[in-house]
Amino acid sequence: MLIATWNINGVKARHDALLAWLDSRKPDIACLQEIKSQDESFPREAIEALGYHVETHGQKGFNGVALLSREKPIEVIRRLPGDDGDEHARFIEGIWQGAGERRLRVVSLYLPNGNPVGTEKFTYKLAWMERLIAHATSLLETEDELVLAGDYNVIPEPIDVANPQNWLGDALFQPESRQAFRRLVNLGFVDAVRAASDAQKTYTFWDYQAGAWQKNNGIRIDHLLLSPEAQERLVSVGIDSHVRGWEKPSDHVPALIELAR
| Binding footprint of DNA on the chain (CB under 7 A) | 9-13, 36-38, 60-63, 112-113, 115, 121, 208-210, 248
| Residues contacting residue 141 through CB under 8 Å, at least 6 positions apart | none
**What residues form DSSP beta bridges with 108?**
92, 149
Helix (H, G, I), strand (E, B) or coil at 231: helix
Smallest gap, in angstroms, from Cβ of residue 145 to DNA? 29
Q: Which is nearer to DNA, 38 or 97 (CB)?
A: 38
d(CA 236, CA 148): 16
Smallest gap, in angstroms, from Cβ of residue 93 to DNA? 20
Q: Which is nearer to DNA, 113 or 197 (CB)?
A: 113
Smallest gap, in angstroms, from Cβ of residue 173 to DNA? 14
d(CA 260, CA 126): 34
Instruction: Tell me which of 151, 160, 170, 222 is the catalytic residue.
Output: 151
Smallest gap, in angstroms, from Cβ of residue 39 to DNA? 12
Nearest to 189 by CA among 158, 130, 129, 149: 149
Q: Which is nearer to DNA, 60 or 72 (CB)?
A: 60
Q: How crowded is the C-beta side of 119, counted as CA atoms within 13 Å?
A: 10
Smallest gap, in angstroms, from Cβ of residue 40 to DNA? 11
**Dihedral through CA 121, CA 126, CA 130, CA 133, nearest 10?**
110
Smallest gap, in angstroms, from Cβ of residue 113 to DNA? 4
Q: Using an 8 Å Cβ cutoff, are 55 and 29 in contact?
A: no
3-state secondary structure 148-191: EEEECCCCCCHHHECCHHHHCCCHHHCHHHHHHHHHHHCCCCEE
Instruction: Tell me which of 28, 52, 110, 191 is the catalytic residue.
Output: 110
CA distances from 183 to 94, 129, 132, 202 (A): 23, 10, 11, 22
Active-site residue flag, 151: yes
Q: Please tell me whether the peptide bond between 175 and the residue prior to it is cis, using omega within 30 degrees of 0.
A: no
Q: What is the DSSP letter of 89?
A: -
Active-site residue flag, 152: no
- Residues serving a catalytic function are 110, 151
